[in-house]
Amino acid sequence: GGFAGEVPRLEYLGRRSVSDLTGEKLAEEHVLDVVPAGLQEAGLGESVYTVCGIQAEHGQGRPKYVLVVESEVPLDDSEKLALSLDRRFKDINSRYELKRNFGDLHPLEVVRVGSGTFADYRREQVELGAPAGQLKEKILHPDGKESLDSLLRLGSSGARS
């Protein structure tokens, strides 16, 4: 915000990404409000992360969100982190809370991948033809199955010690 001379300065916030697997309308702002604080609490303050929305396949189970977090250190307690984030999402998004309480939405899950996974993912996306300039870290993938599969594949590849 503010002005540059007499010209109002606009801050470009990007297209607002909203994920709606089952009516919960989880927005990028929600992720930014919740995840960094949760990671900080878990001692993973500076980690790169993304949240992938995963639709239930062919009536199998329920849709869910998976937080993929890149970290050198193993997560002491991914269950505890998942519960904490799930609670935080409920606190700031009443629709998320409703859908979780109804059981329409599976509890959030947390998966750790090793260092360099996100960089490898970006490289792969560019090789697949994504414009490099548009690949700022997406923190919310509303249709995240492919992203999640790629991150997990890259994150568990033997190249990592």
pTM of the model: 0.85
Answer whether residue 12 shows pLDDT above 60: no
pLDDT tens by residue, 102-121: 999 999 999 999 999 999 99
Lowest mean pLDDT: which of 1-5, 53-57, 86-90, 139-143?
1-5
Distance CA 40, CA 119 (A): 22
Q: Within its chain, how far is the Cα of 72 from the centroid? A: 18
Burial of 3 (0-12, 13-18, 19+ CB in 10 A): exposed
pLDDT tens by residue, 52-69: 999 988 777 899 999 999
Cα Rg, the chain, nearest whole Å: 17
